[in-house]
A and B are shown apart, each in its own frame.
Chain A
């Protein structure tokens, strides 16, 4: 059962081959057995999950099933969930039981999904290794001495170890795609504005976007169908007609299913900076794409090497403003002892935030402060424009841009934790996509030394359906995405 696709689970539930209660219990048992090694979940609540599963079974019996009725889904602990602890990986929200549901949570509930648990993450989604979580690091199911990637590391580890059929994540600079690559999953960041940010705890609002982490592109398409849609409560939500992201997947594959597809290969993604083992796997996947009928064209994204620099001005600037709300007054942690109001704020925030979050708040405060705004913040926004223009130019020559998702396979726990700059550079291939607001997907493309590597496919705005199809065609003729880590029987 745990190897079945979401579509197959749906059919099994509809055919009464298994009930939602049985399916949910199966996963809850797997979490109880294996999560102590992985630490992928922050909150699991058997009683609530099973109650939702029972309600789903009743719906199924009445023939009122929605697209995901009865299927358990794990959610990143960044999504406010009514009545559930919602920590965002931080001590400062260690007691925060949300009084309302995020749009993503509500949409999954409306589609009939069962909430399986809240997954571990880097604190406030700031990290690329899941080591900044107040609730402890997550281990990579492929090698427990390695990181699962971040910030959606708990979601990735949970799905990779088959502790959940699928999960949600959020991606501000690569936080869905990089853990997907490091854990052998398919993970998609949609176009900015496609998924509502309502109730999704904000890190950098102009970059944050939610998306699915799953075992295949086909599963991601089903999940995105539930997640995407206009929401007037998010001022940057885009009012567009709904689309079926699975619609191209069911076209029977011909001999050359991707004939006519132009794949752009940016010089900048194939130079120095990527490990040779990962590069070999990426090159092999590109050769496979040629077999599927795609042609490749050389392109250039000359400003992308500036993306990490621009990102570490823009994201901390937005974060310093967003995280001002955590003040120990209205919700969350409050320092036990303080002198006056300023002292209450300063002690609450000093005790409630971890080191990486504080660093980013300080960077953001500095770059926005008087005398530095033009040199840093405005300059970063101008570079952001150059980066977006690079992509716009490239998409006149190609349909999809392909390269590595991450410059290496999973690194060791602790390896980069002491050096923020090294950690930041693990996102060199993913960050530019967030700055431009484009959709991108990471898919498994092989193993180096027993650890998975990811191939990143970047599309023009609103081409999620095509990206999912391009990923799906590869997965129809490869088996990398079907490989699972040992030790999780």
Chain B
């Protein structure tokens, strides 16, 4: 199987990575090389094999639903101090709704 240029643009859009026409061309070559490696899997009969998501087949641990950070507001300022743009405790992004 090989990808098309259009698919590269489509996937780049889904992944929110701006890609130029030149980059898309070289990316296409690289991705097709990688997929020819991956294709090796397709010849294997895996019918009846249970997919393995994880090394340890454990149930997800649960915890009580309560606040476990005592200094919530200090955390907010510590975390927002490193944000590109904030105002009044909120993260700023370009206007989404006109």
Q: A residues touching B (Cβ–Cβ < 8 Å)?
A: 95-97, 99, 191-193, 206, 232, 235-236, 238, 303, 305-306, 308-310, 312-313, 320, 327-332, 334, 338-347, 349-350, 353, 358-359, 361-363, 365-366, 369, 375-376, 378-386, 388, 419-421, 424, 436-438
List 7 A–B pairs whose Cβ atoms lie within 8 Å, in order of A's numbering: A206-B53, A232-B63, A236-B58, A306-B44, A330-B83, A379-B42, A386-B49
Within 8 A of A (CB), among B6-34: 7-8, 11-19, 27, 30-31, 33-34
Residue of B nearest to A305 (CB): B40
The 8 Å CB contact of A379, one of B12, B37, B46, is B46
In Å, the complex CA distance between A95 and B33 comes to 34
A312-B37, A383-B41 are contacts. A350–B27 as well, Cβ < 8 Å? no
The 8 Å CB contact of A99, one of B13, B61, B82, is B82
The 8 Å CB contact of B81, one of A99, A344, A365, A386, is A99
The 8 Å CB contact of B55, one of A306, A330, A353, A437, is A437
Contact A385 B56 (CB under 8 A): no
Q: Which residues of A contact B58 (CB under 8 A)?
A: 236, 238
A99-B78, A310-B41, A359-B30 are contacts. A353–B17 as well, Cβ < 8 Å? yes
Q: SS class of chain A's interface: helix, strand, loop or mixed?
A: helix
Q: How far is the CB of A126 from chain B (nearest CB, A)?
A: 13
Size bin of chain B's contact surface = 35 or more
Contact B82 A96 (CB under 8 A): yes
Contact B37 A361 (CB under 8 A): no
Q: How far is the CB of A466 from chain B (nearest CB, A)?
A: 19
A312-B34, A366-B7 are contacts. A388–B93 as well, Cβ < 8 Å? no
Query: Counting CB contacts under 8 A, is B88 at the interface?
Result: no
Query: Counting CB contacts under 8 A, is B87 at the interface?
Result: no
In Å, the complex CA distance between A420 and B7 comes to 20
Contact A349 B17 (CB under 8 A): yes
Query: Counting CB contacts under 8 A, is B65 at the interface?
Result: no
Extra contacts, 18 of them, besides A343-B18, A363-B34, A380-B41 (Cβ < 8 A), are A99-B82, A236-B54, A306-B40, A310-B41, A312-B37, A340-B95, A344-B94, A346-B13, A346-B16, A346-B17, A349-B16, A350-B19, A365-B15, A366-B3, A376-B38, A420-B33, A424-B37, A437-B54
Query: Counting CB contacts under 8 A, is B96 at the interface?
Result: yes
A349-B16, A388-B52 are contacts. A421–B37 as well, Cβ < 8 Å? yes
Query: Counting CB contacts under 8 A, is B70 at the interface?
Result: no
Q: Which residues of A contact B11 (CB under 8 A)?
A: 362, 365-366, 369
Contact A347 B54 (CB under 8 A): no
Residue of A nearest to B84 (CB): A334
Q: How far is the CB of B7 from chain A (nearest CB, A)?
A: 7
Q: How far is the CB of A340 from chain B (nearest CB, A)?
A: 5
CB-CB nearest 7 A-B residue pairs: A437-B55, A381-B51, A382-B46, A350-B18, A385-B52, A334-B84, A192-B55
Within 8 A of A (CB), among B70-98: 75, 78-79, 81-85, 91, 93-96
Q: SS class of chain B's interface: helix, strand, loop or mixed?
A: loop
Q: Which residues of B contact A361 (CB under 8 A)?
A: 15, 17
Residue of A nearest to B40 (CB): A309
A362-B12, A384-B52, A385-B51 are contacts. A421–B82 as well, Cβ < 8 Å? no
Q: Which residues of B contact A380 (CB under 8 A)?
A: 41
Contact B16 A342 (CB under 8 A): yes
Q: Which residues of A contact B93 (CB under 8 A)?
A: 329, 341, 344
Contact A99 B51 (CB under 8 A): no
Q: Which residues of A contact B56 (CB under 8 A)?
A: 192-193, 236, 238, 437
Which interface residue of A309, A376, A378 has the most chain B CB atoms within 10 A? A309
Q: How far is the CB of A318 from chain B (nearest CB, A)?
A: 10
The 8 Å CB contact of A309, one of B30, B41, B50, is B41
Q: Which residues of B contact A339 (CB under 8 A)?
A: 94
Q: How far is the CB of B31 from chain A (nearest CB, A)?
A: 6
Contact B82 A97 (CB under 8 A): yes
Q: How far is the CB of B59 from chain A (nearest CB, A)?
A: 11
In Å, the complex CA distance between A113 and B95 comes to 47
Q: How far is the CB of A387 from chain B (nearest CB, A)?
A: 8
Q: Which residues of A contact B54 (CB under 8 A)?
A: 192, 206, 236, 437
Contact A193 B83 (CB under 8 A): no
Which interface residue of A99, A191, A342, A436 has the most chain B CB atoms within 10 A? A99
In Å, the complex CA distance between A401 and B40 comes to 25
Contact A235 B61 (CB under 8 A): yes
